[in-house]
Structure formats: C-alpha cells, structure tokens
C-alpha cells in the first residue's frame, strides 16, 4: 500500500493541464528541447507550430502545464496513405518534458490526451522513431504501450562515396 492514496476516480495525470500547442509557446518549447538536444532549434519549431496552427481541427500538437508553468510538449501529424498504408496514421515526431517536471507524469498526460484526440478521429495507431541510444525515451515509450513496428526504417546517404 502506498502513502499517497488517490481519490476514487482520480488519475495520476490530473495535476497536468494539457491544451493545444500555440505559436505563443515557441520560446519555452525551444528551451525544453534545448535541455534534451543541446541545440537551439528555433526555426524548426517555429515552422512546426505554424503548421499546427493551420491544422486546428486536428489536435495532435499539445502543451502540458503544471500550476500554469510550461512542463512539456508533444508534436505530431496525421498522414493519409503514407508508405502505401491505406488508413490514416498518426506520427509523433517530438515529445519533451522539462527536467524541472521530470517524473511528474507530464509525458503520460500528453500521450493520454493525444490518444483520446486520435481515438475520436478514428485513428487506430501512432508511430514514432527513437534514436537507438535514447534509452530513457525508449523505456518511456515501452511503458506507454509502444512496440517495435513491423516495418523497418531505411536511410541512404545522399553524397556518393
């Protein structure tokens, strides 16, 4: 038995507010991303947020806050018929949680809301990619219910050797 018993019907993600990501979130998205990547990718996220703003009917880019403070974000897209698949597929291309809010169920809350949004649209699955050496992220995805896909991602260098 744990010391922190929850009220009946309470979720462990209830302290996390999840809402649609907006262009006004750019500064803190860049800061949280830099905590993990070590790079400032402002232009990349500026483009992604503008895309998300235009796809307002499809809520696949989300912000997480705890007590009004930016805690994390998730960005995704819907693809229809990509790589020969007949059904729509959701692709999660960015997820990050501020180190200040690590282990506060922020990532779980983001994925929970994403799943609810996608389920309402009739989307049946989410795909993502993870660098082989990102063990914490792979563990997070594993615990969230992700499994290796039946497809293999291939790449080829453009420059000839």
What residue ranges in 81-139 does DSSP mark as E strands?
Answer: 88-97, 126-128
Specify the range with the lowest mean pLDDT, choosing from 57-61, 69-73, 139-143, 157-161: 57-61
pLDDT in tens, 57-84: 466 899 999 999 999 999 998 887 666 6
At residue 150, the pLDDT reads 86
- Whole-angstrom CA distances from 107 to 51, 71, 75, 141 are 22, 9, 12, 10
At residue 3, the pLDDT reads 45
- Over 80: is that where the pLDDT of 92 sits? yes
At residue 26, the pLDDT reads 96
Q: Are 25 and 69 in contact (CB under 8 A)?
A: no
**What is the pLDDT averaged over residues 24-33?**
96
pLDDT in tens, 97-134: 999 999 999 999 999 999 999 999 888 889 999 998 99
Domain map (residue ranges) of the chain? 17-144
Q: Are 60 and 79 in contact (CB under 8 A)?
A: no
- Residue 143, judged by CB atoms within 10 A of its CB (0-12, 13-18, 19+), counts as exposed
Note the CATH architecture for domain 17-144. 3-Layer(aba) Sandwich (3.40)
- Whole-angstrom CA distances from 111 to 28, 32, 41, 118 are 19, 17, 23, 10
| pTM for this entry | 0.84
């Amino acid at each position: 038995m744990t010391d922190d018993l929850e009220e009946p019907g309470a979720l462990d993600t209830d302290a996390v507010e999840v809402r649609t990501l907006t262009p006004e979130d750019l500064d803190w998205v860049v800061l949280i991303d830099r905590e993990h990547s070590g790079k400032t990718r402002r232009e990349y996220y500026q483009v992604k947020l503008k895309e998300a703003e235009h796809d307002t009917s499809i809520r696949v880019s989300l912000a997480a806050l705890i007590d009004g403070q930016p805690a994390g974000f998730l960005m995704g897209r819907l693809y229809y018929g990509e790589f020969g698949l007949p059904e729509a597929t959701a692709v999660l291309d960015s997820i990050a949680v501020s180190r200040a809010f690590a282990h506060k169920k922020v990532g779980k809350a983001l994925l929970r809301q994403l799943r609810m949004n996608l389920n309402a649209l009739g989307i049946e699955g989410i795909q993502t990619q993870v660098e082989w050496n990102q063990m914490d992220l792979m563990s997070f995805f594993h615990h969230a219910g992700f499994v290796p896909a039946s497809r293999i991602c291939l790449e080829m260098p453009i420059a000839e050797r």
